[in-house]
Structures are given as C-alpha cells and as structure tokens.
Structure 1
C-alpha cells in the first residue's frame, strides 16, 4: 500500500508537464496576437498546430509505449518540449516560433502518452488522474498570477512550459521500463472497440467546445468585459483555483454515483456555464462564468479519463481518448476565434452549449454500458467473463483468483449429483485452482 503513492508521483509529474501547454493556451494565443505580426485567427492556428502535433504523437504511440519503454519515451518527450518551446520563446522569427511550437507539441503528446498509459494500469486510475489534474491546475494558476508581473511578450508562457519539462526530468528515473516481452501482449486486440470509438469521437467535440471558449476567454475579458490583462489573469488564477476544488470533490466523490451521472449531468451544467461566460459584460459576470465553468470542467474530465482507463487496463484507450481530446483542443481556439469574429461571443456560447447538450447523451450512455459493479468471487464466470474479471481486478480481489483478461473461459459441464461420494469425486478431479470457483458455481447454479 505505502509503495503505491511513491510509484504514482512520477506519472503525476509527467501528466502535469504534458498537459501544461493546453492549460496556458489562452495567454499563449493572446500574447502571440499582441506581440507578433499575427491576426487573432492566425494566432489560433499556431495554438492549433501545437496541439495537433500533441494529438498526433498520442495516436502514433498509443500501442507502442510498452515496446519502446516508458522511461525512454518520457525522456524524449521532455527533451522535445524543452527544445521546442525554448526555441519558440527565444525568437521573434515567425517560422521558428511555429516550428518550435510544433516540436514542443510533439514532446507534450509523447509525455502525455506515457503518463496516461501508465496511470490507466494503476489499481485506482481515477485517483491518480485527479491528482494529475490537481497538480497541473495549481501550476497553471500560479503561472497566471505571476506572468503579468514579469512582463509581456510571447516567450514567457512558452519558456515556463520548457522549464517545467526540465524540472520533471529527474522523475523519469523512477519509471520502470516494463517493455513487452513478446508480440502477444503488445498486439492484443482492443476491448470495447465500439464504445471506445464512440467515446473518442465524442471527446473530440467535447474538448473542442471547452477550448473554443478557453482559447478566446482572454479576449472576452479584455474586449467585451473591459478588463485589464492583470485582472483577466487574476480571474483565470481564481478559476483554476476553483478547479482545484472541483478536482478534490471528484476525488472525494469517487465512484459513489458511478460515472454516468457526473459525466452526463456535469456536461449539461458546463453547457450553461459556457453560455453565461460568453455573455459576460463586466468583472462580476466574467468571473462568475469562468469560475463556475473551471470548477466543473476538470471534475467531469477526471471521470472521462477514468472511463477511458476502465476500457483497457493496458491504457491504450486512455491514450487514444487523451489524444482525441488533444485533437479537439487543437481546433478549439480556431473554432472559437472564427465563431466569435463572425457571430460574436454570445452566439458562439450558445452554439457551443447546444453541442454539449447533445454530447451529454452518448457520453452518459457509454458510461452506463461499460461500467460494471464489484463482483464476489465465484461469480466471474456466470456474469460476464473477461469484462467481469476486469471489474473484479479493479476492486482489489486477490490476483490469484481473478482470471486473466482475454484468457479462455473455464468450460462448465452440467453434473448430475446422485450422492455425496459423486460430489466429492467431481470436485477432486476438477483440476488445480478450480475448487473454489467450481464450488461457488455449483452452489449458485443449483
């Protein structure tokens, strides 16, 4: 027990580094627009390039982490982040800024892939993912508070991400390589293919809606609400601080309500927050909308990450859903910029809210369809085979009594019991390791 938190903290550190660039996206896009010869949509394109590269790395590496080694991949990702973001921060030459952002995005995606895959393999992935969201929110909030005092320029947020990548580097020494020893484990088929594919597709649009608002929130605050950059930064820091409370609440709530209710109801509430935030016309309304939205967003995101992790204990769906989220995040700033320029911020908010209301239905249904309940020993065979084994393993059953996922199910043959002697003989010849299961099955099945 005591070794698990020590084993999880390097993954939390990698999670923080991999997600930090997307959390700093509003100030990054805003500073590109203000300090480089770029229009607002062009600055959004640069942010989209960064996140598209991050998503591409995740999709490419989703099934290759075990083969290539987590330590090697995480170090490569951190080096790409430091080199790419550092280069983009140190120059005002537009081609180098775009190239550096792209290289840094590849590094962020690689780092996120290792973290998401390894967290999904932990006994309690929801707890570790909420801790990662807590850490990245706290880091981003501290940066939002300090960056306005350090001056302007596009390089400051990029340099901050590069420095965090270097600070996380020592954590990679605590990662075990855990390379696959053969092709069977690495090439095993994905479980829940249909549910995972629908979840990944829905996550693209879900994340796009969130980050369409997040990418233009700075402009809503300065242009529509009439706030200074320092005031907007203070609101963002307060909002991210409220997000910490939401993450703590998600961790405390755990699985008491399952996943369908937090995901479905939470998405509906987020839709209302986005519509309200997009109509902000002063400090009070802008702060209220941003704080409410940022409280709910990471809370629901933690359950979506946990849902993806539950679909495959090797973490492949977790990585692909995380990459799908990055894909939506990539197009979010561009979509927000285009919608706000052609229709205005309030109409943009209504469009995004309507899309989220529609998405809440399939997301909740997937959570209902794929979430099992804890099972007692002796009921795995009768109640679902491999999926039931996954549920039993996730609830802490002794490893020796839980069948391996993908293993052939134990055949059950009907027995006609005519006396005590026959019963004993049947049980004694059932084979090693099947006594308890056979006894449970015969007793319950009669």
Structure 2
C-alpha cells in the first residue's frame, strides 16, 4: 500500500534523493579536474566527459517527465540509485578511457532518474519551494564536506566518482518511505488524470531560460578549479577550502531565503539575484589572487541556491503532477551539461576574463524572461499548485476540476472584500399591531 507523500518520512526521502541526484553537478569542478589529471586529458576533453555525464542526467529527466508515477516513485528511485552506484563505481575502478566514459554516462543517467523522482514528489507537496530549499541545503552541506575531504584522499579520478557511488548506496534505505505504487499522491488524483500540459508558454519560457541560466553558471563552475590554480596561482587544497566556504555561504543564503519565505515573492529574487550573479561571475573569471577569487566564488554561491530554489518552486507551481518541475529540471541539467564544454572552449579562445564577460552578458539577457514568468505565475487564478492558504492540494484539485470560468475565480493575493452591515427593514403596520397585541395578552 503506498504511503502518504506528505508524511515527514516521505519528505526526508525526497530530500535525500534530491541530494544524491544533484551531487554530481555540485562536484563537477573536482570531477573534471581529476579526470584531466588522472587520465592525462586536456581541458576540453575532460570538460567533454563532464558534459557527457550531465547529458545522461538530462536525458533521464526528459524520458521520465511523465512516467515517474506510472513506474512508481520507489521503483524508479531504486533503479536510478542502482545505476549511479554501478556507473560511478565502475568508472572509478578503471583507467581505460572508453570504460570511464561508459560508467560516467550510466551514472549520470542514474543521477537524472533520482532527480526526476525527487522533483516529481516535491511538486506534489503543499509547499514545493520549501522542500526544494531543504534539498539545496542538504546537497550544499554534502558537497562542502566532500570538497574539504577529497583533497586528503589522494589524487586520481577515483575519489570523487566513488563519493557519488557511495552517496547512492547511503540513500538507498530511505527509498522504502516513498510510495511503492503508481498512485503517488492520492489527494491530487483528479489533477493527475490524462490531460494537456498546463501553462505551456510560461513553462516553455521557464525551461528555455533555465537552460541558458544553468549553462552560464556551470560554464564558469566547470573551470573554476582551473581559474583558481592556474590564473590565481592557488593550490588544490586552498581552492577546495574556498569551494567549501562558498557552499557554506550557499547554506546561509538558502537559510535566509527560507526564513523570508514568500514575502519577497519569486520575481524579485530571480531578477535581482540573476543580475548580481552576473557580477559575481565576472569577478571570479577575472580573479588574479586569493581575495578576488574567494570573494567572487563565495558571493556567487551564496546567491545561486537562493535563485535556484525560487526557479524550482516556480516550475513546481505550474503543474502539481510535477511534469514542468521535471522538464524544467531536465532543461537545467541540459544547460549544466553544456556548461563544461562551453567554459573550456570560451576560456581557451577568449581567456578567462573574456569568458566571464560573455557569461555575464548571457545572464543579464536571460534575467528578463525568467522574471516575467515569475510575475505571470504570481498573478494566476486558483489552479493546481497555486493554493497555499487554507486548502492546499485538495482545494487546488477543486479549483482545477470546477467548471467556473477563470474570471469568476478570486485571484491569489487579492484583497479580501469588506463586509458591509445591512440594516433590517422597517416593520410594517401589521407587524406593529401584532406586536402590540402580544404585549397586551
């Protein structure tokens, strides 16, 4: 019998699965750097392998966008974690390039499967942005701990890949808390009936914007290790410490954003946050020493998860079935996959400062459509995923299935109507005579 997804155990399982799936992109700089050093590859070749890993993750998300609930969240999650353990583990155990690439592709497909299951489950919760924030806190803490630990485990490409495989094995036991059948969310069964994808233009704009947004972020993130060691002249241990501090700043940023909750909405954090990230990207790419490199990386990573949590919550609010959450997450993974190659090619042709200028310009361009989608979604009528006050998902299902026209539905955030007192009508002569007669008797 499937368990209820809103139980605390189900939330913990979704957060753990989110952490395992997102850990590979967070460890991308050290994975790419270790592949280049351990296998004797050039920067572009190592970046291409990192892109292949993330392409496998994106392909899993696109393939599973509407199939998670048919397969069953528990079964799909376990298949993904098994692929992660086998793929990353086999890639770590060999030094043959074709076998490493094959293992990385399999592991990336497993990461994408785990992320798709987590995104689909988070979208069905009453507050998807809060659940996404918890997931980002968890993955930032895990990645920060690994950045402090991996430099002390020796060189070669095996340690970061083994860390990803071990993360999958550690998460495996909590998958028993996920629903085992295809009815993952009984309270939104009506909304999950076969039907067209809602909010297609807004969702498509969000997915396209997320692709470019993630590409710009990870183009720099994929070469940040080399910027620190080559351009800034830092050691690998120092760069790892900077990354750990940066991810710690991300924890603080997400904590503050979670405390503020919906007070700022989504449009302001997405628009202003993306513009500030563009400045941080330019600062990191032009860093010539420890101070500028650390400042750019720490400020950037403090803002990145805040904006990402708003984008993930926005995608989840567009469809309670989780299809836009999975599709937008897969588009983000696709942009992440293209990031290492883009960063390597731009850095080799235009240098690190030129690469930073190009990526900052792309972020400023993409900030406008993302902010427009956030403003549009904030003013939607009562539809699935948009009700958070006194009703949650059951009320969202009612709003989705009722035949009332959109214009008659109250808008989210609209002021409540004032209740005007209505005076009673004046008594008639007959009523006065009846009252007089009763008092006499």
Q: Is the 8 A contact 2:5 2:125 kept in 1?
A: no
Of 295, 300, 307, which aligns to 1:300? 307
> What is residue 338 of structure 1 aligned with on the other side?
345
Of 265, 276, 290, which aligns to 1:269? 276
| Bigger Rg, which one | 2
SS of equivalent residue, structure 2 residue 195: coil
SS of equivalent residue, structure 2 residue 41: coil
Q: Is the 8 A contact 2:85 2:107 kept in 1?
A: yes
Mark the CA change 1:13 to 1:198 in structure 2 (over 3 Å): closer, same or farther. Answer: same
Q: Is the 8 A contact 2:384 2:393 kept in 1?
A: no
Mark the CA change 1:2 to 1:301 in structure 2 (over 3 Å): closer, same or farther. Answer: closer
Mark the CA change 1:234 to 1:403 in structure 2 (over 3 Å): closer, same or farther. Answer: closer
The Cα of 1:68 is off from its aligned counterpart by: 0.7
Instruction: Tell me, in whole angstroms, the C-alpha distance in 2 between the residues paired with 1:96 and 1:10.
Output: 32
Mark the CA change 1:364 to 1:33 in structure 2 (over 3 Å): closer, same or farther. Answer: same
**5+ residue gaps, structure 1:** 373-383, 413-439
Matches within 5 A, 1:197-236: 197-236=204-243
Mark the CA change 1:411 to 1:157 in structure 2 (over 3 Å): closer, same or farther. Answer: closer
Instruction: Tell me, in whole angstroms, the C-alpha distance in 1 between the residues paired with 2:306 and 2:117.
Output: 22
Question: TM-score, normalising length from structure 2?
Answer: 0.87
The Cα of 1:388 is off from its aligned counterpart by: 1.1
SS of equivalent residue, structure 1 residue 136: helix
Deviates more, 1:14-23 or 1:169-178: 169-178
The Cα of 1:399 is off from its aligned counterpart by: 6.7
Instruction: Tell me, in whole angstroms, the C-alpha distance in 1 between the residues paired with 2:170 and 2:396.
Output: 40
Could you list the structure 1 runs, at least 4 aligned residues long, displaced by more than 6 angstroms after superposition.
181-184
Matches within 5 A, 1:244-323: 244-323=251-330
Instruction: Tell me, in whole angstroms, the C-alpha distance in 2 between the residues paired with 1:129 and 1:396.
Output: 21
- CA deviation map 1:29-86 (0-9, x unaligned): 0011111031110100100000001000000101001111000000000000000000
Instruction: Tell me, in whole angstroms, the C-alpha distance in 1 between the residues paired with 2:244 and 2:369.
Output: 32
> What is residue 107 of structure 2 aligned with on the other side?
104
- CA deviation map 1:67-112 (0-9, x unaligned): 1100000000000000000000011010110000000000000000
Mark the CA change 1:186 to 1:162 in structure 2 (over 3 Å): closer, same or farther. Answer: farther
Q: Is the 8 A contact 1:239 1:294 kept in 2?
A: yes
1:9 and 2:3 correspond: no
Mark the CA change 1:211 to 1:401 in structure 2 (over 3 Å): closer, same or farther. Answer: closer
Mark the CA change 1:90 to 1:398 in structure 2 (over 3 Å): closer, same or farther. Answer: closer
> What is residue 73 of structure 1 aligned with on the other side?
76
Q: Is the 8 A contact 2:86 2:103 kept in 1?
A: yes
1:404 and 2:407 correspond: no
The Cα of 1:403 is off from its aligned counterpart by: 5.3
Mark the CA change 1:179 to 1:40 in structure 2 (over 3 Å): closer, same or farther. Answer: same
Instruction: Tell me, in whole angstroms, the C-alpha distance in 2 between the residues paired with 1:287 and 1:332.
Output: 21
Mark the CA change 1:323 to 1:398 in structure 2 (over 3 Å): closer, same or farther. Answer: closer
The Cα of 1:254 is off from its aligned counterpart by: 1.2
Mark the CA change 1:3 to 1:390 in structure 2 (over 3 Å): closer, same or farther. Answer: closer
- CA deviation map 1:387-444 (0-9, x unaligned): 41436633232777665354241489xxxxxxxxxxxxxxxxxxxxxxxxxxx99x99
> What is residue 40 of structure 1 aligned with on the other side?
43
- CA deviation map 1:319-340 (0-9, x unaligned): 0000000000000000000000
Instruction: Tell me, in whole angstroms, the C-alpha distance in 1 between the residues paired with 2:304 and 2:375.
Output: 20
Q: Is the 8 A contact 1:67 1:186 kept in 2?
A: no
> What is residue 135 of structure 1 aligned with on the other side?
138
Mark the CA change 1:369 to 1:411 in structure 2 (over 3 Å): closer, same or farther. Answer: closer
- CA deviation map 1:11-45 (0-9, x unaligned): 00000000001100000000111110311101001
Matches within 5 A, 1:417-428: none
> What is residue 436 of structure 1 aligned with on the other side?
none
> What is residue 428 of structure 1 aligned with on the other side?
none
